[in-house]
A = this chain, B = another copy of it.
Amino acid sequence: MTVAVDRRPRRVVLVGFGNVGRELAAILVDPSPYPGLHGLNVQVVAVTTASRGTIAMPEGVDLLAALRDIRTTGAFAAAHRVPSSTLDILASLDYDVMVELSPLSVPNRGEPAISHVRSALERGKHVVTANKGPLAWAYRPLRDLARQRGCAFLHEATVMDGAPVFSLARHCLRGTSILRLEGILNSTTNFVLDSLEKGGTVEDAVRRAQQAGFAEADPSLDLDGWDAAVKVTALANVLMDADLRPETVPRERMTHVDPARVREAPRHGRRVKIVAEAVRDGEQARARVESRELALDHPFAIARGTTSVLRITTDLLGTISLTEESPDLRTTAYGVLADLLALPA
């Protein structure tokens, strides 16, 4: 099956230029290894960051130079920088799509990403976000604003990296109602549990997860269950029409899970996993993040390391699961790219 790639030119503002943004830029600089991207016509007209400066160029920024500057000096070259804020850029520049890649802030309840998304949608620009904040704290008003302005508001890279969680629900489950969502959604805690089972410590596992690049610099976002709570909130709000907030999702913290229990569970044919779950409850949904002891042949028990899995129970189709094996940065960058390729005319 050949799905034709969208060849319309898309002028894109990247908000944020961390690991995912740089991986996306590298693919855009040279998409030639990927035959499916033939004809891709994405032009990045601005990249805004909080600490590395902001660059903007109506005829397209030089991504190769930008990547090199970040790699060698940690910031964009002074000669190319503009003094504008992200909101200035979003309000004044000529662009088609805002790609929100800034880091999630739980204390700020998804800001400033929510304001970025609102600003772009209010101007009638499409939005692609890898930042979960807008889904967890402001999904309904942003979704309604997008509809009102006739814009796309896509977010595939927010949960399970590039795995097509949201597009699966949108395109592949027509006519069904989703009754339950359960998954292994946080890589760091899943990696830590693996390590504890082998007799390691939380601290050592977190250090290795940070070295491998998938744990946050501040690991409490993962270990305190916030990342999973924000993800399951996003899933429930989008896929179950719920109106949850991460603060109200009960979270069992990794630090409260007894390492001895994790080590000993396999002797009884069980494995301890941290599972995020949302269950439909009338017009609303209930969600939680908790440790569970699962049989060793449970679909979640075999998800080791950074592998993630989402199990979806529906009325008409029964239960299906989507597993993403050992994703890397390219996988997440693909999630953003998939949304860019799915934009309407």
Interface residues, chain A, with chain B CB atoms under 8 Å away: 1-3, 5, 27, 33-37, 40, 162-164, 166-177, 238-239, 241, 296-299, 301-302, 304, 315-328, 330-331, 334, 337-338, 341-342
Contacts and interface: CB of A to CB of B under 8 A. Distances in A.
A338 B1 contact: no
A170 B1 contact: yes
Contact of A331 (B34, B317, B324, B342): B317
Nearest to A297: B302
B317 A162 contact: yes
Contacts of A296: 296-297
Contact of A177 (B35, B316, B322, B330): B35
A311 to B, nearest CB: 8
Contact of A325 (B2, B175, B176, B320): B320
Contact of A163 (B3, B320, B323): B320
Given A3-B170, A319-B325, A320-B325, 4 more contacts: A27-B316, A34-B316, A36-B177, A320-B324
Contacts of A2: 241
Number of identical monomers bound together in the oligomeric complex:
2
A299 B301 CA distance: 10
A170 B175 CA distance: 18
Query: In this complex, which of A3, A166, A302, A316 has the most chain B Cβ atoms within 10 angstroms of its Cβ?
Result: A316
Contact of A167 (B171, B239, B241, B319): B171
A172 B175 contact: no
Contacts of A162: 316-318
A260 to B, nearest CB: 22
Contact of A318 (B172, B297, B324, B342): B324
A241 B170 CA distance: 25
Nearest to A237: B1
12 contacts: A3-B173, A3-B174, A35-B315, A36-B315, A167-B172, A296-B296, A297-B301, A297-B304, A316-B334, A318-B326, A320-B325, A323-B323
Nearest to A303: B299
Nearest to A315: B34
Contacts of A173: 3, 164, 338
A94 to B, nearest CB: 25
A139 to B, nearest CB: 10
